[in-house]
Amino acid sequence: MMNYAAHELLETSEALRTKKAEIEQHGAFIHQTRDQHLKSILSKHQQQMITAYQQGINLLQGKGAQIPNQAPHFQPHNADVGLGAQATSSSAPMANTQTLSDQTMATLALNAHKSGAMLGMLWAGECVDPQLRTFHVNGAVLCQEMAYEIWTWMNQNGYYQPPTFSTTQTHQMAGMFQPMNQTGMNQMNYNQNPMQ
């Protein structure tokens, strides 16, 4: 069993507790959701979280877990992304509900994955041990991919459509930044290599 720095062990324990809770939460969502595509996404995400949870347990228990660095892999979606806020049906929250709507479950899953992506990178930045660091980076990458997949489902179902700027506003925003001129680039290169 490895001897980790206290903060690494505390952060990794927090990550595992969170994964455990999300695995259970996704299980509840899978049984409640009515949309078969959402059910499939949630099931896939639950399996991915179970794998990540087990990797973390094996790593902490010193069972020879070598955590490979995983690059993000975005799978293109066939449907077009809907941009521009459009009127969708809205409803007030139901404080005494017995079941959650598909939209609510997707929102909760999306927020959990977005938070997981941020926290995973935060925890990775605090780790000295390269295996723990990679474990947290991989968790962050997985979370952002799962968040995007949930967001895509929400977008396709009209639950989450980001507003857009007008063409003029977009050009104004893009025009706020300009490339460095050659003099600035040469000065930067000189500062990096003053002996040459």
Give mean pLDDT, residues 175-187.
79
d(CA 79, CA 87): 20
- Prediction pTM value: 0.80
Q: What is the CATH number of the domain that holds 27?
A: 1.20.1260.10
Domain count, the chain: 1
Parent domain of 114: 6-72+100-165
The DSSP secondary-structure symbol of 79 reads: S
Does residue 47 fall inside a structural domain? yes
In the chain, what percentage of residues exceed pLDDT 90?
54
Does residue 32 fall inside a structural domain? yes
Output phi, psi for 135, to 5 deg.
-55, -45
| CB neighbours of residue 19 within 10 Å | 20
Does residue 140 fall inside a structural domain? yes
Quote the radius of gyration of the chain (alpha carbons, Å): 22
Q: What is the pLDDT of residues 28-60, one digit of tens each?
A: 999 999 999 999 999 999 999 999 999 999 988
Does residue 179 fall inside a structural domain? no
Does residue 185 fall inside a structural domain? no
Does residue 83 fall inside a structural domain? no
| CB neighbours of residue 161 within 10 Å | 18
Q: How much is the pLDDT for 178? A: 84
Does residue 86 fall inside a structural domain? no
List the end-to-end C-alpha distance of the chain, in Å, as a whole number.
49
d(CA 25, CA 154): 18
Q: How much is the pLDDT for 147? A: 97
> 130-160 burial by CB neighbour count: b if 16+ within 10 A, else e?
eebbbbbbbbbbbbbbbbbbbbbbbbbbebb
